[in-house]
Amino acid sequence: MLRRVRPVQLIFLGFLLTAAVGTGLLLLPAATAPGEQTDFIHALFTATSALCVTGLVVVDTATHWSPLGQAVILVLIQLGGFGVMTFATVIGLIVLGRLSLRSKLVAATEAKSLGLADLRSLILGIVKISLSIEGVLAVVLVLRFYLSYQMGFGEALWQGVFHSVSAFNNAGFSLFSDSMMGFVADPVVCLSMAAAIILGGLGFPVIIQLRRHFRTPRLWSMHTRIVVWATTLLLVLGTALITVLEWSNPRTLGPLHWSEKLLAGFFQSVQTRTAGFNSVDISAMEPTTWLGIDVLMLIGGAPAGTAGGIKVTTFAVLLFILITELRGDAAVNIFGKRLSRSVHRQAIAVVLLALALITVVTGVLMHISGLPLDQVLFETVSAFSTVGLSTGITADLPVLGRLLLVMLMFIGRIGPITFASALALRERRTKYELPKERPIIG
């Protein structure tokens, strides 16, 4: 029976099973701090948020969970960053020393690999890259916390390791009750975490290619070029947007020195790429800033990495399609290469599915909670894009609202196309073509 299950369905089931196990572990009395109580919804929401590397919370991670509960969250973040089936493939490689064809197909589907030939090196590369970047960031944070913030070495070690894993995997979970607001003016903490978040958001194939051909951009693939240029552009635009709109806001950037305002603006721009930490109070931002962040969160980071959203490649493809249509060109050309027409359909499908889900859930949440559109939309986009930024309404939502956000986080992590394909009972292959006809557009 299992052999009839398609790779996308195995990915779906793998995440579902892991979320269930994580929920069970967080329900253990030992996972909750003394004096606190955890119900099923709290455990399910937290486990899903951690596994889907989102960062939305309904309880304070620092005070509600015991060290065991925080360790469970950390493991779920790491599994979510690797990809559940990718991690299972790694275990298979370690135990068996080889991969079956089915394991290769499943791992390739989750890792967004275009082929099976170099899959073994790709999977091992993902593990090496993740652990290396997390290790370097952990050392920086441990030393900074220990030497500059009067933490004991044990506490600094745990804080450094937890935040390094959470940062690279774009999870946004923090062991500080105010996230990173206590470090808003600390360039060492903010810039080192931002660097790890950006690398995680580039996607593993891009990191691997940049490592091999960093000094020779002419050897970069179309995918790498799109990701690098789009990421740079969005980071700059996001920094400018947040810094300018919040410059005089007395509840966010207003009290800071101009250099600290730039640092905070850049740090928050990075977080919109699906990381979810905050060094200023998101709930105190201007509604116009929320709207700009909504757009940045929806775009997200790159495929085959730890980021969410519709992905920068999808956004770039739609932008180039628009430019091509306005110019009247016959084909969409990007960086000297012609774009496959099948990619057009995929990009449009992803965006339409994302907008449909966000619209429906936003409407339902507004109806059952009575909260305003700007806050509910922010929360919904954050959940779907696995960002974790919040205006502070997550814990106030009714049970149905939290379950809807759980569903959005799950769909956002595995991807709307993968989710829809997993729900399909079988693949349809049409053996004929119908006559062409054009409706009037626009």
Domain positions in the chain: 2-422
CA within 13 Å, CB half, 415 = 25
In this structure, the chain runs to a length of 442
Q: Identify the pLDDT of residue 41.
A: 95
Q: Identify the pLDDT of residue 283.
A: 95
The Cα–Cα gap between 28 and 66 comes to 11
Residue ranges, the chain, pLDDT below 50: 1-2, 93, 95-96, 101, 107, 110, 114, 116
Q: Which is nearest to 348 in space by CA: 365, 327, 332?
A: 332
Q: Identify the pLDDT of residue 420.
A: 61
Q: Identify the pLDDT of residue 203.
A: 83
Q: Identify the pLDDT of residue 305.
A: 76
pLDDT digit string (tens) for 124-176? 777 888 899 999 999 999 999 999 998 999 999 999 999 999 999 999 999 99
List Cβ neighbours of 138 (8 Å cut-off, separation of 6 or more). 160, 161, 164, 165
Please spell the DSSP secondary structure of 375-391, one letter per residue: HHHHHHHHHHTT-----
Q: Identify the pLDDT of residue 328.
A: 86
Q: Identify the pLDDT of residue 96.
A: 46
The Cα–Cα gap between 118 and 124 comes to 10
